[in-house]
Amino acid sequence: MASIGFNELFFLLQGLKWTVALTIIGFIGGGIFGLLVALARTAESKLLQKVTTGYIAIFQGTPLLMQLFVVYYGVALIGLNVDAWIAVAIAFTLHASAYLGEIWRGGIQAVPKGQTEAAKALGLHYTSRVKDVILPQALKISLPATIGFLVQLIKGTSLAAIVGFVELSRAGQIVSNQTFRPLTVFAIIGLIYFLICWPLSLWGARTERRLQTATR
């Protein structure tokens, strides 16, 4: 039974690097597309509402694991040869965009209608109303839920191992197979996830309490 030394810990940290990178790409990419989804969901166009409602239903109604499989193998079926990194990044971006789009849609609709009516009365056009009046308030309202989703996204990156992507959990599996110390290895991995996610959870809870206090 081999010991866990510097090389094994360094390999786990390399996996952590890809976990963080995948989370950042998925969250930023998902945020950009999610904002478009949220705006389309709250637009006056019934067609846009129906299309984005269907989009959200697909990604919220199917497991992330299945979405990873579909993107990874589906891209190959149409003749495109992409590595696991690109396929996983695409899958997480699409997944995040559906969830963030729905979270932010709720935030937009939670903004009092009087704010929009006042902006219209001042003669602000749609872009200015959204950018300067609605979104700042909507994103503030949605911040606790957004942080909560970020925590789930970090933990969800562990599923990327199923298509051969070596992130933290997959790196732990490899080290465990080499050292035959699964409890020790996955205790270390669990501690790393905890040290990343727990402060974010505290931040989300603190932000939610502040919002509740501000609305009283």
Evaluate if residue 4 carries a pLDDT over 90: no
* Structural domain includes residue 1: no
Q: For the chain, what is the mean pLDDT?
A: 91
In a domain, 138, yes or no: yes
pLDDT above 80: residue 215? no
Q: What's residue 13's pLDDT?
A: 94
Other Cβ atoms less than 10 A from the Cβ of 49: the count is 15
This prediction has a pTM of 0.93
> Both tokens of residue 127?
């872009």
Q: CATH number for the domain including 87?
A: 1.10.3720.10
Q: Tell me how far apart the alpha carbons of residues 11 and 16 are, in angstroms, rounded to a whole number.
A: 9
Instruction: Give me the number of domains the chain comprises.
Output: 1
* pLDDT confidence tier of residue 77, bands split at 50, 70 and 90: confident
Q: How crowded is the C-beta side of 210, counted as CA atoms within 13 Å?
A: 11
For helices 6-41 and 182-214, give the axis angle rounded to 10 degrees: 30
Does any domain span residue 77? yes
Which residue range is the domain that position 172 belongs to?
6-215
Judge whether 92 lies within some domain.
yes
